[in-house]
Amino acid sequence: AAFEQSGVLEATTMRQLFNYAKVLAMQKPAKGDRVAIVTNGGGAGVMMSDGLLERGLKMAELSEETLKKFEEDVKAGKLPAHMSYKNPIDVIGDAPSSRYEIAMRYALEDPNVDVLVVIALFQSPALDEGIIDAVERMKAYGKPIVFVAPGGDFPHKMARNIEQK
C-alpha cells in the first residue's frame, strides 16, 4: 500500500524489474500520468489499459481537436471507417506502418497525452520494418514512447531495433 501511495513501481519478477529499468533508463520522465495506446489489436489495447489503470496510471481522454482529426481522415478515406480512435486507438489488424504513424502523431500532438504506448502485433504482412522509422520520427514530440511487440523472434527483433534507435 505504501508503494502504491508513493507512486513506486513494484516489480514482481526479475524480468519485470529489468523491463522497468530499461524503460526508465531510455525515456525522459513523463510530465504526467495520462497514457494513450495505439495498437492493431483491440484486445491487446484493452488488456494494456487495464494493466496501466491497475498501476495507477490514467487513460488519456483525447481532445475534441484530436478526435476531429481522426474523423476527418476517416471521411477522407485516409483511415478505415471501422477503426476505433477513442483511447485505446485501434488501427485494426491490417494496419500498415503509415496508419500507425498517423495515429501516433495525433496522440502525441494531443495536450492530454503524457505517454504513448505502441503495441505492434505482427499478424499482418502490412506491418513491416517501417514501424521502426515511424516510431523514431515520433521521438521529436519529446514524450515518452513505450513500444511493445509481443510474440516470437520477429516482434522481438523489431523491438530491439527500436531500442537501438
In this predicted model, what pLDDT tens digit does every residue of 66-124 receive, in sequence order?
Answer: 999 999 999 999 999 999 999 999 999 999 999 999 999 999 999 999 999 999 988 77
Which domain covers residue 36, as residue numbers?
A: 32-164
Domain membership flag for residue 151: yes
> What is the pTM assigned to this prediction?
0.83
Domain membership flag for residue 91: yes
Into how many domains does the chain fold? 1
Residue 112 CA neighbour count, 13 Å, CB half: 16
Answer whether residue 64 shows pLDDT above 90: yes
For 3, 20, 84, 125, the CA distances from 24, given in Å and listed in that order, are 17, 6, 30, 31
Most confident of 44-53, 59-68, 144-153: 59-68
Domain membership flag for residue 127: yes
Q: Lowest mean pLDDT: which of 125-129, 140-144, 150-154?
A: 150-154
Residue 75 CA neighbour count, 13 Å, CB half: 6
Query: Euclidean distance between the first and final Cα of the chain, in Å?
Result: 37
Domain membership flag for residue 22: no
With cell 533508463, the residue in question is: 25
Answer whether residue 37 shows pLDDT above 90: yes
Sequential DSSP letters for 8-77: PPPPSSHHHHHHHHHHHHHSPPPSSSEEEEEES-HHHHHHHHHHHHHTT-EE----HHHHHHHHHHHHTT
For 77, 117, 149, 152, the CA distances from 144, given in Å and listed in that order, are 30, 8, 17, 25
Q: Lowest mean pLDDT: which of 2-16, 67-81, 88-102, 127-141?
A: 2-16
Tell me, what CATH number does 36's domain have? Answer: 3.40.50.261
Domain membership flag for residue 20: no
* Mean pLDDT within 7-26: 69
pLDDT band of 36, cuts 50, 70, 90:
very high
Domain membership flag for residue 14: no
Residue 87: what pLDDT?
96
Domain membership flag for residue 68: yes
Phi, psi of 135 (to 5 degrees): -65, -40
Domain membership flag for residue 144: yes
Give the separation between CA 73 and CA 148, rounded to whole angstroms. Answer: 26
